[in-house]
Amino acid sequence: MSKNLFSLIVSDLRAAKKRDPAARSYIEIIFAYSGFHATLVHRICNFLWHIKLKFLARFLSNIARILTSIEIHPAAIIDSGFFIDHGAGLVIGETSKVGKNVTIYQQTTLGGLTPSLNSDSQRNTKRHPTICDNVIVGSGAQILGPVTIGKNSRIGANAVVLKDIPENFTYVGIPARKIESKNLTDEFNAYGISKGKIDDPNKKSINALYKEIHTITEKFEELKKIVDANYKVPNSNIKFRRQKGKQGKGK
């Protein structure tokens, strides 16, 4: 194994210690963190993949999937400082690329958009996401297709991302939409959600609609008062007689 492989593993260990307040020691991470176990095995499998031992790489990655419930294809490229928190249900596809200091939470998918359609034509093509440096992906997020998530961006829990996201943005929702833009380089937000109040664009639209309805209602009441004051209808003495049909007689 190369020196580079060892340095990657050390960087992953340090990332877990730095980003998880529950991590008390490196020993605890080495023996009790399934996310670190999955990353460690992937580092080895990726090394084997690139020296053409692809079957062995797939076999070992499958063992890791059974033991950790985390599936990472051996061909996926993952840079240093990678941290999987919790991790169960995480899937990272074959052509995925993950930059430095990326954090991903459980139930996330870095997948293809339509892998079952024309599968042969998709072989050896870029069909999975590229996650740039310092990105945080919240639990349950689905990032699908050859999209790029820009540096320092945050993907909120359960978001569905189908298009590129620029640097320094926070996206949430289905489909994912922008809620915040600022320099997030030195700010760690668990689950991809920023601290403080987050404005929801849909909530803003609904509140604006309620306000408009309230304004229209007030205008209507004013108009009704004007009509009542100027166009009073006098009391009518017209009596309506009910026609009595013939009872008990048939045709």
Same domain, residue pair 102 and 49: yes
Same domain, residue pair 124 and 184: yes
For residue 143, being part of any structural domain is answered with yes
Residue 87 in contact with residue 69, Cβ under 8 Å? yes
Residue 171 in contact with residue 158, Cβ under 8 Å? no
Same domain, residue pair 224 and 151: no
Same domain, residue pair 51 and 97: yes
- Residue 241's pLDDT is 55
Which phi and psi angles does 225 have, rounded to 5°?
Answer: -65, -40
Q: What is the mean pLDDT of each run of 10 residues along the chain (251 residues)?
A: 82 94 93 95 95 96 96 96 94 95 95 75 85 95 94 92 92 83 59 56 78 90 83 57 53 49
Same domain, residue pair 128 and 110: yes
For residue 151, being part of any structural domain is answered with yes
For residue 37, being part of any structural domain is answered with yes
**Model pTM greater than 0.75?**
no
Instruction: Return the structure tokens found at 55.
Output: 């079957």
For residue 249, being part of any structural domain is answered with no
Strands 169-172 and 148-149, by their bridges, are unpaired
Distance from chain centroid for Cα 93:
16
Same domain, residue pair 15 and 115: yes
Number of domains in the chain: 2
Q: Which of 155, 175, 199 is the last residue of a domain?
A: 199
Same domain, residue pair 216 and 166: no
For residue 243, being part of any structural domain is answered with no
For residue 76, being part of any structural domain is answered with yes
- Residue 204's pLDDT is 73
For residue 140, being part of any structural domain is answered with yes
- Residue 224's pLDDT is 84
Same domain, residue pair 175 and 206: no
Same domain, residue pair 102 and 213: no
Range of the structural domain that residue 227 is part of: 200-231
- Identify the CATH number of the domain in which residue 93 sits: 2.160.10.10
- Residue 73's pLDDT is 97
Q: How many CB atoms lie within 10 A of CB 51?
A: 9
For residue 241, being part of any structural domain is answered with no
